[in-house]
A and B are shown apart, each in its own frame.
Chain A
Amino acid sequence: MAELSAVVAQTLLAVMLAPGLVGLIRWIKARLQSRRGAPPWQIYFELRKLFAKEIVISRTASWLFRAAPLIVFGTSVVVASLVPLVFIPVAFDRTGDLFAAVYLLLLGTFFLALAGLDTGSAFGGMGSSREMTVVALTEPTVALSIFALALTAGSTNLGVIATRTLADPGMALGPAHVLGFPALFIVALAESGRLPIDNPSTHLELTMIHEAMVLEYSGPYLALIEWASALKFFLLLALAANLFVPWGIAQSLAPLDLLAGFAALTVKMAILAVAVAVLETRVAKLRLFRVPELLSASFVLALLAVMSTMFVR
Chain B
Amino acid sequence: MTTRGVPLALAVATAGYLAGAVAALLARSSRGARWAAAAGASLGSLAALVLAVQVLVTGAPVDAGIPGLLAVAGGVVVRLDGLGAFFLAIVSIIGLPAAVYGAGYSADETTGHLRSLGFMLNMFLFGMSLVTCAGNVLTFVLGWEVMSLASYFLVMVETGDPETQSAGLWYIAMTHFGLVLLLPMFFLLSSSGGGASFADLRLGAGMLTPAMRNVVFILAVLAFGSKAGVVPLHVWLPRAHPAAPSHVSALMSGVMIKLGIYGLVRVTLDVLGGGVVWWGGLLLAVGSVSALLGVLYALMEHDLKRLLAYHSVENIGIILIGFGAALVLDGYGLRSAALVGFAASLFHTLNHACFKALLFLGAGSVLRQTHTRNMEQMGGLITRMPQTALLFLVGAVAIAALPPLNGFASEWMVFQTLLAGAQIPRPELAVGIPMAVGMLALTSGLAAACFVKAFGVTFLAMPRSERAAQAREAPLSMRAAMALLASACVVLGLGASMTVPVLYRALEGLGGVSPAAAAATPGLWVEGAGRLAYVSPPLLAASLAVVVFLGWLAVRRALGRARLTDTWGCGRIGQTPRMEYTASAFAEPLRRVFAELYRPAEDLTVSTHPESRYFIRSITYTSEVHPWFEAVIYDPIIGGVRRASTEVRRLQGGSAHLYLLYVVAALLGALGWVWWS
Contacts and interface: CB of A to CB of B under 8 A. Distances in A.
A129 B585 CA distance: 8
B72 interface: no
30 contacts: A54-B562, A60-B575, A61-B567, A69-B551, A74-B548, A81-B543, A97-B535, A99-B535, A106-B400, A106-B448, A107-B403, A110-B400, A110-B448, A114-B456, A120-B580, A128-B581, A133-B590, A133-B593, A137-B593, A140-B437, A140-B441, A144-B437, A147-B437, A216-B568, A224-B551, A303-B434, A306-B433, A310-B429, A310-B430, A310-B434
B68 interface: no
A114 B441 contact: no
A-B residue pairs, 4 tightest by C-beta: A125-B581, A139-B445, A143-B441, A136-B445
Nearest to B464: A120
A300 to B, nearest CB: 10
A117 B454 CA distance: 11
B456 A117 contact: yes
A124 B320 CA distance: 37
Interface string B616-651: 000000000000000000000000000000000000
B388 interface: no
Contacts of A142: 441
Interface in A281-299: 288-289, 292, 299
Contacts of B452: 110, 113-114, 117, 128, 132
Residue in B401, B425, B434, B444 with the greatest tally of chain A CB atoms within 10 Å: B434
Given A97-B534, A103-B412, A133-B590, 18 more contacts: A55-B558, A55-B561, A69-B555, A73-B548, A97-B535, A103-B402, A106-B400, A106-B402, A109-B448, A120-B580, A121-B580, A125-B581, A133-B449, A136-B446, A136-B590, A138-B445, A147-B437, A160-B532
B589 A288 contact: yes
Interface residues of A, number: 85
Contact of A220 (B525, B534, B554, B569): B554
B419 A289 contact: no
Contacts of B587: 129
A151 B422 contact: yes
What's the dominant secondary structure at chain B's contact region? Answer: helix
Interface string A202-235: 0000000000000110011100100000000000
Interface residues of B, number: 88
A147 B533 CA distance: 12
B552 interface: yes
B425 A310 contact: yes
Contacts of B456: 113-114, 117-118, 125, 128
Interface in A150-181: 150-151, 154-157, 160
Given A132-B448, A137-B445, A216 B567 contact: yes
B431 interface: yes
Among A55, A118, A219, which residue has the most Cβ atoms of chain B within 10 A? A55
Nearest to A293: B593
Interface of A: 51, 53-64, 66, 69-71, 73-75, 77-78, 81, 93-97, 99-100, 103-104, 106-107, 109-110, 113-114, 117-122, 124-126, 128-130, 132-133, 135-140, 142-144, 147, 150-151, 154-157, 160, 215-216, 219-221, 224, 288-289, 292, 299, 303, 306-307, 310-311, 313
Given A133-B590, A157-B534, A110 B568 contact: no
Of the listed residues B427, B439, B534, the one surrounded by the most CB atoms of chain A closer than 10 A to its CB is B534
B576 to A, nearest CB: 9
A307 B430 contact: yes
A197 B90 CA distance: 44
Contact of A78 (B382, B543, B567): B543
B592 A55 contact: no
Given A133-B589, A140-B441, A151-B419, A94 B579 contact: no
Interface string B572-597: 00010101110001111110110000
B502 interface: no
A137 B442 contact: yes
A100 B543 CA distance: 13
Nearest to A125: B581
Given A96-B535, A220-B558, A135 B445 contact: yes
Given A104-B403, A157-B533, A124 B581 contact: yes
A103 B445 contact: no
B39 interface: no
B268 interface: no
A109 B566 CA distance: 24
A132 B449 contact: yes
A57 B564 CA distance: 5
A81 B528 CA distance: 21
Contacts of B416: 156
B579 A120 contact: yes
A155 B528 contact: yes
A303 B593 contact: no
Contacts of B563: 54-57
A299 B593 CA distance: 15
B547 to A, nearest CB: 4
Contacts of A219: 558
A69 B548 CA distance: 9
B438 A114 contact: no
Contacts of A73: 547-548, 551
A54 B564 CA distance: 11
B540 interface: yes
B144 interface: no
Contacts of A66: 559
